[in-house]
Amino acid sequence: MVRFESVGLRYGRTGGRDAAPEVLRNISFALPEGAFRWLLGPSGAGKTSLLRLMYLAALPTSGRLTLLGNDIGRTPRRALPRLRRRIGVVFQDFRLLPHLTAFENVALPLRLAGRPEAQVRADVTELLHWVGLAGKLSTLPDELSGGEQQRVAIARAVIARPNLLLADEPTGNLDAAQADRLMMLLNELNRLGTTVIVATHNESLVARYPNSELRLDRGRLVHEP
């Protein structure tokens, strides 16, 4: 499902004397299908960079990364969009498109995948009902509370039934009750077969939902199960 082999990442210049510093160094681990992992570490440890590699917002500058059976270094750029559609991402800042309604934000992954409009309408409406936003289909993100925006973001991340679900500090803007509800949703998706990786600082959340951990420190993986 996910395999890192001596993966390194630099932003900016990748070679020469003035090469940018490595934000990730010699990362190696493998996740089987259906795994759940916490991604832990202090600020600046490289959690977000590791997730960026996994949702293909960045490409490794060294080593080998295999995602969903694809060696990313050998995969042509034109094939990456199809791969991205199999990966769902939940961001701390939600990253909803402000000019689109809740419905249209959630519909995006399906429309990008070319699903028929009737199916888009049915699936999005059902999922927004499921996350408790039945009455907010035509509401813009700015008119939603933080928790509601988070649920829209989650709905968008899971609507296309991704094989891999990544969450970057997903509870950062939520109160305890909302965070628990989110964790129950992530666990449910994991139980249905989705591989889930959650990056967080929230140690109490990790304690309440014990799972295997990947721990980073200064760009290196210091603990894996």
Please give the residue ranges that form the binding site for another protein (CB under 8 A). Answer: 55-59, 77-78, 80-85, 89, 95, 97-101, 103-104, 107-109, 111-113, 117, 121, 137-140, 156
- Could you tell me the smallest distance in angstroms from the CB atom of residue 148 to another protein? 16
With respect to another protein, which residue has the nearer C-beta, 139 or 187?
Answer: 139
Task: With beta carbons less than 8 A apart as the criterion, state whether 212 and 184 touch.
Answer: no
Tokens representing 114 are 């070319």
Closest separation between CB of residue 97 and another protein, Å? 5
For residue 213, count other CB atoms closer than 10 A to its CB.
14
Give whichever of 56 and 179 is closer to another protein, judged by the CB atom.
56
Among 127, 146, 136, which residue's Cα sits nearest to residue 189? 127
- Least CB distance to another protein at residue 38 (A): 22
Pick the closer one to another protein by CB: 17 or 77: 77
Q: Cβ closer to another protein: 85 or 215?
A: 85
Nearest-angstrom CA–CA distance, 212 and 189? 16
We find the least distance from the C-beta atom of residue 35 to another protein, in angstroms, to be 22
Burial class (CB in 10 A: 0-12, 13-18, 19+), 38: buried
| Number of alpha carbons in the 13 Å side-chain half-sphere of residue 173 | 17
